[in-house]
Amino acid sequence: MKESGNEHPCYVPPELVNCSSKAYDVTYQYYCYLMELNQDYKYEVCVRDIVLAIRSELDPQIIEALSGTSFVVERGKLSLNLSPAKRIQLSPEEVEQCRRFQTTLFRILLNRDENELPSASDNFSFGDNPEFDYLLLPATVEHQSPSNSIIDWKSVKSFPFSSASTCDCNCKDHACDVRIKNGSVCSCKLENCVVYTSHSKSFYTMTPIIWDLNGNSTLRHLGRHGTATYKEHFKNKHGIDLRFPEQSLLRGRKVFEVGNYLLKDRKNKNKGEKMGSEELPPELCSVIMSPISIGTVYSFSFMPSIMHWLEGLLVAFNLKMFLDHCTKNDIPIIKVFEAITAKGCQEAYNYENLETLGDSFLKYAVSQQLFKTRQNDREGTLSKLKEDVISNVALRKFASDKNLPGFIRMEAFDPKKWIIPGDKSKSLLLEERLVCSGRTSMYVGKKRKIELKKVADVVEALIGAFISTEDEESALSFINWIGIEVDTNIMPYERHLSIDPENLVKVKDLESVLNYKFKDPYLLVEALTHGSYKGPEIRTCYERLEFLGDAVLDNLITMHLYGEYVNEKFSPGFLTNMRSISANNECYALSAIKAKLHEHILCDPVVAKNMEKTMKGVENLSLDSTFGWELETYFCPVLADVIESIAGAIFVDSGYKKEIVFKSIRPLLEPLVTPETAKRHPISELQELCQKNQYKLTEHEHPPVRENDEILFIIEVKANRITRTAKASNKDTARKMASKELLKELQICKSVG
């Protein structure tokens, strides 16, 4: 199934799809897994364990990844433990019964419509096309005993219910004398069942009969009209005359709401809230399923979310198997799962941090490859070539050629759209064959449109998943596999300098500042030579080394931040913000000033004057902070450039060893940003605040003015009817200052309001 435009398949793992003969005279083998549910909250209803019966044996990695998972439900947290149980053989009739049971129960929970219920004659055997084939069945209370069946077959056979077959119970006071809407039954059949009432159009789970109340009893909860009996209440409110008012009432609770229990920011309801129940005359109740406990129905309300989570893990596992032939690293399945989960899923995991990590490494890998192999190309050409390779358009093309978009998880789970296993009305799947090692096919549930950037982000996140395990070799293998040629080979770097480096720059002084001794000091000269320098002894400038050093430093800082903080409590998106705060031109320029690198830069008088302007702006300010944007001053870009070009020079001189670069450059960047000291750039923070509060943000550039023999730029920023204007010798500085003042004013208004 090839993609059409931006449409891509949505893969379904083969472990959940039928894969056997459909002949009626065979038995089907299922691997059973006990899903033990544990609630950490008090509630009148206790969860029951569920048996997952599946046609393929689950890999231990899946069991480990799923076990211990917690889900935020209405009243607290529900944890899951998954453990293998014994295999079972089921006849075709038993499989049909199981599929009929789960389809009925899930349609009750999800659709809440009597007309949506299957009939006793509906066919639940396997069809001619691939379909979901796994069973969710109630576990017996005695499932831990090896002598007993793990499956509660009485509940499985609770549908279809027939009053004609209910007089075979063995209860002590047996009597088929309770009149219900669809016959007469023994009272024991009503203690654990699901009923439907047409007057309220609702399904209820039944709890024990209220023996002290009947239709002639006074309402427990009196309305504003005063005393009334249940018989009068049903007559007045619903127009129903009770024919058997002397019958004891039933207590029922409307079936449980099925929610998305994977949401990261899901809120709990009041933990002390009691279960709401209603008194119902038996004659108004149609029994749908019996016997089935309220705890079983409650537990099944969580199954769509749990199975969606398992399906995602299995998709990640299949992708992991798909990638195994191109890498050597046994990457953790949870990292692959994280890498394919978009922010839109609103779950505990998403790819933001891994995408930032992978984006950084991909830029580094491509930059060093271009630097090595294109030694006659200038920085502008190298940047264009890099963009052609790592742009979103290019990465989408690489990903599509390798069938990667089909593995992406991109939307929040909607229980209403969940496909009930065994429900033949929605379970059509198509097989798609993939060319890979170990796996030959996946299944397609639907096709969907995926934004170009999301596909590119997942490619970068998968690279980040490899890098997160500190395995650059596997990351490079993956990058080559998708179609981007990179390697770690060291190639000689040709320079054209004949003069003694000490005649141009103070090499020894700089080596002391950098705590690094150059094997080839000509690299240091190149790193400090601006393109405006006219000396005949130098035919090159720092731009190529800056191109390389920019990528190296960005990757080093990103890796440092990931290693220090991401495995702690910080949320997805944290790494992106921290990187933007730490690796930027203003921070680099401030670091260059503190190290007095400006004194060594070879440039023409115009550039020197611009650097002097920066030095004048900071001469009376404290330089303890590493946040350049906190200072309302102009930073000459050359100052930031030389930090990057020197990093590139050390990288090449050391034999492409990033750790040596970080050891040398890190002291210049101190103090490094921490989560406690991190502050967003005022422009980014203002944009985020306006987007969050739906403020219209506009910027206007006024004509420059001359003051004190200096050209000043004027920028006006406006949001929420508040305007701030700033003047500076640089457009970016004026914009930063105006945004900073507007942000401050908006925050004051918000706190007052």
Average per-residue pLDDT in the chain? Answer: 86
Instruction: Tell me the backbone φ, ψ of residue 80, rounded to 5 degrees.
Output: -125, 135
For residues 717 and 663, state if they share a domain.
no
Residue with tokens 């420059």: 704
Report whether pLDDT(381) > 80: yes
Quick one: how many helices (H) and strands (E) in the chain?
A: 22, 19
Report whether pLDDT(82) > 80: yes
Q: Is the peptide bond before 671 cis (omega within 30 degrees of 0)?
A: yes
Burial zone of 549 (CB within 10 Å; 0-12 exposed, 13-18 middle, 19+ buried): buried
For residues 433 and 360, state if they share a domain.
yes
Q: Residue 260's closest CA among 312, 303, 310, 305?
A: 305
Q: What is the pLDDT of residue 734?
A: 79
Q: What is the pLDDT of residue 4?
A: 46
**Would the CA dihedral through 548, 553, 555, 556 be positive or negative?**
positive
Answer yes or no: are the C-beta atoms of 133 and 53 closer than 8 Å: no
Residue 523 included in any domain: yes
CA distance 227 to 253: 24
Residues 6+ positions from 186 with CB-CB distance below 8 Å: 166, 167, 169, 171, 174, 175, 176, 177, 178
30 has which bridge partners?
88
pLDDT in tens, 555-565: 999 999 998 88
By mean pLDDT, which of 224-228, 544-548, 562-566 is the weakest? Answer: 224-228
CA distance 386 to 391: 8
State the total domains in the chain. 3
Model confidence at 450, pLDDT cuts 50, 70, 90, reads very high
Give one word for 36, left, alpha or beta, with left for phi > 0 and alpha for psi -120 to 50.
beta
Q: What is the pLDDT of residue 305?
A: 97
Model confidence at 716, pLDDT cuts 50, 70, 90, reads confident
Report whether pLDDT(670) > 70: yes
Q: Residue 633's closest CA among 655, 653, 611?
A: 611
Q: What is the pLDDT of residue 300?
A: 97
Query: Crossing angle for the helix pair 543-561 and 637-653, nearest 10 degrees?
Result: 80
Q: What is the pLDDT of residue 139?
A: 95
CA distance 506 to 600: 7
Answer yes or no: are the C-beta atoms of 330 and 287 closer than 8 Å: no
Model confidence at 272, pLDDT cuts 50, 70, 90, reads very low
103: which 2 tokens?
A: 């389809």
Residue 657 included in any domain: yes
Residue where a domain terminates, one of 425, 448, 482? 482
Q: Which amino acid is at 441?
A: S
For residues 646 and 518, state if they share a domain.
yes
Residue 753: C-alpha distances to residues 744, 745, 748, 750 (Å): 14, 12, 9, 5
pLDDT in tens, 118-175: 887 888 888 777 888 899 999 997 654 444 578 999 999 999 887 665 555 667 666 6
Residue 401, classed as helix, strand or coil, is helix
Residue 740 included in any domain: yes
Residue 696 included in any domain: yes
Q: What is the pLDDT of residue 201?
A: 93
> Residue ranges of the alpha helices (H) in 67-173?
92-111, 153-156
Gyration radius (Cα) of the chain, Å? 34
CA distance 571 to 732: 30
**Count of C-beta atoms within a 10 Å radius of residue 484:** 20
Residue where a domain terminates, one of 452, 482, 512? 482
Length of the chain in terms of residues written: 753
For residues 379 and 478, state if they share a domain.
yes
For residues 690 and 655, state if they share a domain.
no
Starting at the edge strand found earlier in the chain, the sheet holding 278-280 runs 278-280, 248-254, 202-214, 194-197, 286-289
Query: Crossing angle for the helix pair 352-373 and 637-653, nearest 10 degrees?
Result: 70
Residue with tokens 């770097």: 493
Model confidence at 3, pLDDT cuts 50, 70, 90, reads very low
> What mean pLDDT do residues 397-413 have?
94
658: which 2 tokens?
A: 């990033």
**Would the CA dihedral through 654, 657, 663, 665 be positive or negative?**
positive
Q: What is the pLDDT of residue 225?
A: 55
**Count of C-beta atoms within a 10 Å radius of residue 393:** 12
CA distance 377 to 395: 24
For residues 622 and 745, state if they share a domain.
no
Cα 177 to its chain centre, rounded Å, is 55
pLDDT in tens, 679-690: 777 878 788 888
Residue 42, classed as helix, strand or coil, is coil
CATH code where residue 521 lies: 1.10.1520.10
Residues 6+ positions from 429 with CB-CB distance below 8 Å: 12, 17, 129, 130, 131, 132, 443, 444, 445
Model confidence at 216, pLDDT cuts 50, 70, 90, reads very high
For residues 550 and 460, state if they share a domain.
no
234-262 burial, b if ≥16 CB within 10 A, otherwise e? beeeeebebeebebbbbbbbbbbebbbbb
Kindly list the catalytic residues.
550, 644
Report whether pLDDT(30) > 90: yes
Residues 6+ positions from 373 with CB-CB distance below 8 Å: 491
DSSP string covering 668-715: HHPSPP-TTT----HHHHHHHHHHHHT--EEEEEEEEEEETTEEEEEE
**Count of C-beta atoms within a 10 Å radius of residue 519:** 9
Residue 189 included in any domain: no
Q: Which amino acid is at 187?
A: S
Residue 654 included in any domain: yes
Starting at the edge strand found earlier in the chain, the sheet holding 441-449 runs 7-12, 441-449, 430-433
For residues 525 and 620, state if they share a domain.
yes
Burial zone of 21 (CB within 10 Å; 0-12 exposed, 13-18 middle, 19+ buried): exposed
CA distance 391 to 393: 5
Percent of the chain predicted with pLDDT > 70? 88
Q: What is the pLDDT of residue 2?
A: 44
For residues 614 and 711, state if they share a domain.
no
184: which 2 tokens?
A: 């007469």
Residue 35 included in any domain: no
CA distance 665 to 591: 10
Q: What is the pLDDT of residue 414?
A: 95
For residues 581 and 654, state if they share a domain.
yes
pTM of this prediction? 0.88
**Count of C-beta atoms within a 10 Å radius of residue 14:** 20
Between 272 and 59, whose confidence is greater? Answer: 59
Instruction: Tell me the backbone φ, ψ of residue 634, rounded to 5 degrees.
Output: -90, 135
CATH code where residue 740 lies: 3.30.160.20
For residues 386 and 449, state if they share a domain.
yes
**Count of C-beta atoms within a 10 Å radius of residue 673:** 20
Residues 6+ positions from 88 with CB-CB distance below 8 Å: 29, 30, 32, 53, 150, 151
Residues 6+ positions from 451 with CB-CB distance below 8 Å: 6
Report whether pLDDT(1) > 80: no
Residue where a domain terminates, one of 646, 679, 712? 679
pLDDT in tens, 228-263: 899 999 999 899 999 999 999 999 999 999 999 999
**DSSP for residue 253:** E
721: which 2 tokens?
A: 């009817």
By mean pLDDT, which of 86-100, 313-327, 646-660, 718-732 is the weakest? Answer: 718-732
Residues 6+ positions from 191 with CB-CB distance below 8 Å: 206, 207, 208, 209, 291
7 has which bridge partners?
4, 449
Q: What is the pLDDT of residue 399?
A: 95
CA distance 24 to 461: 46
Q: Is the peptide bond before 704 cis (omega within 30 degrees of 0)?
A: no
Q: Are strands 722-728 and 28-39 parallel, antiparallel or unpaired?
A: unpaired
Domain span at 451: 336-482
For residues 460 and 564, state if they share a domain.
no
Q: What is the pLDDT of residue 135?
A: 96
pLDDT in tens, 632-643: 677 889 999 999
Report whether pLDDT(462) > 80: yes
Residue 298 included in any domain: no
Residue 425: C-alpha distances to residues 78, 107, 124, 127, 421 (Å): 31, 12, 11, 11, 10
By mean pLDDT, which of 19-33, 500-514, 536-550 is the weakest? Answer: 19-33
CA distance 615 to 572: 38
Instruction: Tell me the backbone φ, ψ of residue 371, rounded to 5 degrees.
Output: -60, -40
173: which 2 tokens?
A: 């006071």
Percent of the chain predicted with pLDDT > 90? 53
